[in-house]
Structure 1
Amino acid sequence: MSYAIDTLEHMFEYKQVSPASASSASATAEEFLAGREASGGATLTAAERVAELQSRISQMQSRTLSSTLIPTHPAIASLLPGGGLQQGSVYSVDSSAMLLMTLLAAPSAAGSWCAVVGVPEFGIEAAQRFGVNLERLVLVPHPGDQWLAVTAAIADVVDVVVARPPTRASDSAVARLASRLRQRKSTLLMVGSWPQSEAMVSLGESQWHGIGNGHGHLAAREVTVTVTSKSAGRPRSARIWLPDASEQIRSYSVAESGPAQLTVLPQQVSA
Structure 2
Amino acid sequence: MADLLALAPHRSTTGALLAGAARERGMGVVVLTRDGIPTPPPHGVRTYYYGGPYFADSALGHLGVALLEPAAGWLDLLPYAFTGRHVRCVPLGEARRAPGPLFVKPPTDKSFPAAVYADGEALPGPVGRLRDEALVQISEVVAWVREFRIHLLDGEIRTGSRYATFGRLDPAPLAGDPDEPAVRDFVRQLTRACGDTLPSGVVLDVGLMRNGDDERWAVVEANMAWFSNVYAADPARALDVVLRSAGPGTSVRARDTRFRRA
Q: TM-score scaled by structure 2?
A: 0.28
**Greater fraction of residues in helix:** 1
TM-score normalized with structure 1 length: 0.27
Report which structure shows greater RCO (CA 8 Å, sep ≥6): 2
Higher strand share: 2
